[in-house]
Amino acid sequence: MANAPTKASRPPPRAPLPGPIEWLRENLFSSWGNAALTVVALLILYWVVVPFVRWAFIDAAWTGTGRDDCLAFENGACWPFVSERIGQIIYGFYDVTERWRVDLTLIGLALGLLWLTMPGMPGKRPVGAVMVLAYPLIAFVLLAGGFGLEEVPTTRWGGLLMTLVVAFTGIVASLPLGILLALGRRSELPVVKGLSVAFIELWRGVPLVTVLFMAANMLPLFVGLSVNKLLAALIAVALFSSAYMAEVIRGGLQAIPKGQYEAAAAMGLSYWRSMAFVILPQALRLSLPNIVGNFIGLLKDTSLISIIGFFDLLGIVQAGATDPEWATPNTALTGYAFVGAVFWAMCFGMSRYATHLEGVLGAGGRR
């Protein structure tokens, strides 16, 4: 009789399963707990993605000219609302015959941004200077009129145009103001430092909504004459975002080693020269990813101007959805989906760019 083994031998190590099955096993079903998590995740995906795809694509109304065409599609998006209103969504109430001016402005903006963000493009410095110094003036004349162009009052601006105007003005104005404030906060002069700290903490401590309320209700009192409403809002956004920009740039300034300041002083450079030629180029480079992050926040925050009565991208869709001509149970949601897609594409693009910058700076910028 053969001896029965007293203890079962351990099983040999498991041979890897073929191809994707092994991957599944490793990444999704490595243990019972993990398998349960996978099932929960699959359920969430099923509950969110399937209804969304059905609503947005399969059950949606794609063609039509009015609400009646959408009412037939009870459980689907009402895309004709977007396609019929696309002119308003982009240009607001801008005169139809003058819309080419908006197109020109936006194309200029897109070309400038592409030039500046594409790696390896020549002449980034002059192009950047043109975008920051000359472009805003050209854009203003193109949009508002003058020099032979018919005037279009700002009350007729709206939609995507309004969103981009507010965001771009905020960005362009907040950079120089933010740099000055950041330098002021690190100044050795007590008055300069105190005023900078007070300014920064005041704006950072209050919500943008109250700042916009202030611009709409209080600024006219302080200036003493009627102010263009858009200008008041733009000033508010610029002051508000410059405080946040100042803190981002201060972070960059703090990361510059002391030796750089001392070296600049040893070269006999004055304060402003040492800042302009030695410190700020390095500090701005370091804070670039966070500056882009700040721009993302600013772009999203522009939607708040609809609260004080402007028809920006979100505001005009919100107004359109309550228009009886288009009112269906799905109109508002369709509008939000469209606006969300536009905002998401812009913000996600910028955040990808910021991540890319972080990689570039991390690899080459530091020793």
Partner 1 sequence: MATPLRIAWWRRRRTRDLLFQAALIAGVLLLFGIMANNAIQTVERQHIATGFGFLDHTAGFDVVQTLVRYDETSTYGRVLLVGILNTLLVAAIGIVLATLLGFLVGIGQLSSNWLVARLARSFVEIVRNLPLLLQIFFWYFAVLRALPGPRESWGVADAVFLNNRGLYLPAPVAESGFGFVMLAFAAGAIASIFMFLRAKAVRERTGRVSPVAPGTTALLVVPALLASAAAGFPMSFSVPALSGFNFQGGIVVLPEMMALVVALATYTASYIAEIVRAGIEGVARGQTEAAQALGLNRGQMLRLVIVPQAMRQIIPPLTSQYLNLTKNSSLAVAIAYPDLVSVFAGTTLSQTGQAIEIIAITMAVYLTLSLLTSAFMNWYNARVALTER
Question: Interface with partner 1 by CB under 8 A: which residues?
Answer: 27-28, 30, 34, 37-38, 41-42, 44-45, 189-192, 195, 201-202, 204-210, 213-214, 217-218, 220-224, 296, 300-304, 306-307, 314, 318, 321, 329, 332-333, 336, 339-340, 343-344, 347-348, 351
CA 320, CA 335: separation in Å to the nearest integer? 8
Quote the least distance from Cβ 28 to partner 1, whole Å: 6
- Taking the least distance from each CB to partner 1, the nearer of 208 and 288 is 208
Q: Are 103 and 142 in contact (CB under 8 A)?
A: no
Quote the least distance from Cβ 173 to partner 1, whole Å: 18
- Taking the least distance from each CB to partner 1, the nearer of 107 and 300 is 300
- Taking the least distance from each CB to partner 1, the nearer of 215 and 283 is 215
Quote the least distance from Cβ 144 to partner 1, whole Å: 26
- Give me the phi and psi of 312, to 5 degrees please: -80, -170
Q: Are 253 and 218 in contact (CB under 8 A)?
A: no
Widest CA span in the chain: 112
Quote the least distance from Cβ 229 to partner 1, whole Å: 14
Helix residue ranges per DSSP H, the chain: 19-27, 32-53, 67-71, 79-84, 86-91, 99-117, 124-129, 135-144, 159-185, 190-205, 208-217, 219-223, 229-254, 258-266, 271-274, 280-301, 313-321, 331-360
Place of tokens 């600013």: 298
- Taking the least distance from each CB to partner 1, the nearer of 53 and 121 is 53
Q: Are 179 and 294 in contact (CB under 8 A)?
A: no
Quote the least distance from Cβ 327 to partner 1, whole Å: 12
- Taking the least distance from each CB to partner 1, the nearer of 142 and 293 is 293
- Taking the least distance from each CB to partner 1, the nearer of 77 and 152 is 77
- Taking the least distance from each CB to partner 1, the nearer of 101 and 159 is 159
Quote the least distance from Cβ 318 to partner 1, whole Å: 6
Quote the least distance from Cβ 284 to partner 1, whole Å: 23
* Helix, strand or coil, per DSSP, at residue 146: strand
Q: Which two three-digit tokens encode residue 334?
A: 């369709």
